[in-house]
């Protein structure tokens, strides 16, 4: 884990998701990064990030999230991609907390179902498509992130690994790494206080625990709906995101050490 997770002070869950084995070689490190937002990045964080030779950056957040926590990084000449899509969407965590009965179990059920709808939200499709196009067309390292770097980011990183030929065991290992890369216990009280203040509720901290980390069934459900709609997650990448075999091959040539 230490080799992947970078100890930035103001950016949670920043890590290199290269380095995994594939049938044709190992995924290069130093070219693929994932994380949470950059609103709280420190000067030291910014110095580190500016040294990564990042050429392409995709922000998976909705416009309201970007407005509330604008990124301090990156700046020009990095190619930055975001979308105005999803502006009217009720945030998943707010919708979950507005259910009639709220427990840690109902929140976990909600998140499981969220993963069944997330791959087919149009603004996610647009950004996932842009991510793969950027991997083909741009030079340097690439960064993809959302608010916490675990759900939306987790789906697109898993799909990237599939395109590269990373094994399913390693895909789920990288996804689950969020649970060790982030000090969930340390952040849980602040999350409880923030959500309770927003909603005027008084839920205990454990209610919010399913929001803070990931569960393997979440990603399994995303893969299940891709199987149902397109025969496989790679079928989803081809059919829904327009990533042709030619594009996949270009991505592999760029990112795999032969």
Per-residue model confidence (pLDDT) at position 154: 98
**Domain boundaries, position 111:** 15-257
Asked if pLDDT for residue 239 goes beyond 80, the answer is yes
What does the alpha-carbon distance between residue 166 and residue 179 come to, in Å, rounded to a whole number? 20
Mean pLDDT of 38-63: 96
Per-residue model confidence (pLDDT) at position 2: 52
- Please report whether residue 1 resides in a domain: no
- Please report whether residue 9 resides in a domain: no
Mean pLDDT of 174-203: 88
Q: What is the CA radius of gyration of the chain?
A: 18
Q: Which of 44-48, 184-188, 193-197 has the largest mean confidence?
A: 44-48
- Please report whether residue 172 resides in a domain: yes
1 confidence band (pLDDT: 50, 70, 90):
very low
Per-residue model confidence (pLDDT) at position 184: 85
- Please report whether residue 194 resides in a domain: yes
pLDDT (tens digit, 9 = 90+) per residue, 52-92?
A: 999 999 999 999 999 999 999 998 789 999 999 888 787 77
Which pTM was predicted? 0.94
244 confidence band (pLDDT: 50, 70, 90):
very high
Asked if pLDDT for residue 107 goes beyond 90, the answer is no
If one compares 242 and 92, the residue with the highest pLDDT of the two is 242
- Please report whether residue 238 resides in a domain: yes
Q: How many CA atoms lie within 13 A of 71 on its CB side?
A: 28
Mean pLDDT of 229-233: 98
What does the alpha-carbon distance between residue 35 and residue 149 come to, in Å, rounded to a whole number? 4
pLDDT (tens digit, 9 = 90+) per residue, 200-212?
A: 888 888 888 888 8
Kindly give, in sequence order, each residue whose CB lies less than 8 Å from that of residue 212, ignoring residues fewer than 6 positions away. Answer: 148, 182, 184, 187, 188, 191
Domain tally, the chain: 1
- Please report whether residue 241 resides in a domain: yes
- Measured at the alpha carbon of residue 197, what is the angle toward residues 7 and 97, in degrees to the nearest 5? 85
pLDDT (tens digit, 9 = 90+) per residue, 132-178?
A: 999 999 999 999 999 999 999 999 999 999 999 999 999 999 999 99
- Please report whether residue 85 resides in a domain: yes
- Please report whether residue 253 resides in a domain: yes
If one compares 81 and 198, the residue with the highest pLDDT of the two is 81
Mean pLDDT of 88-103: 79
> Percentage of residues in the chain with pLDDT exceeding 90?
73
CATH code for the domain of 179: 3.90.190.10
What does the alpha-carbon distance between residue 33 and residue 14 come to, in Å, rounded to a whole number? 7
């Amino acid at each position: 884990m230490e080799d992947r997770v970078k100890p930035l002070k103001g950016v949670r869950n920043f890590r290199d998701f290269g380095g995994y084995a594939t049938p044709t070689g190992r995924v290069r490190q130093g070219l693929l990064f994932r994380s949470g937002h950059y609103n709280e990045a420190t000067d030291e964080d910014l110095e580190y990030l500016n040294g990564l030779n990042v050429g392409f950056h995709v922000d998976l957040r909705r416009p309201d999230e970007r407005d509330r926590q604008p990124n301090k990084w990156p700046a020009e000449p990095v190619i930055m991609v975001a979308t105005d899509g999803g502006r009217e969407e009720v945030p998943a965590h707010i919708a979950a907390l507005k259910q009639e009965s709220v427990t840690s179990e109902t929140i976990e059920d909600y998140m499981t179902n969220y993963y069944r709808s997330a791959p087919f939200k149009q603004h996610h499709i647009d950004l996932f498509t842009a991510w793969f196009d950027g991997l083909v067309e741009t030079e340097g390292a690439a960064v993809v992130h959302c608010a916490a770097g675990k759900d939306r980011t987790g789906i697109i990183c898993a799909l990237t690994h599939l395109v590269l030929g990373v094994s399913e065991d390693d895909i789920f290992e990288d996804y689950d790494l969020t649970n060790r890369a982030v000090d969930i216990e340390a952040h849980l009280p602040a999350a409880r206080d923030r959500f309770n203040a927003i909603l005027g509720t008084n839920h205990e901290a454990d209610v919010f625990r399913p929001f803070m980390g990931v569960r393997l069934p979440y990603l399994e459900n995303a893969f299940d709906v891709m199987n149902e709609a397109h025969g496989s997650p790679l079928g989803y990448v081809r059919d829904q995101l327009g990533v042709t075999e030619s594009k996949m091959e270009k991505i592999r040539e760029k990112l795999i050490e032969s």
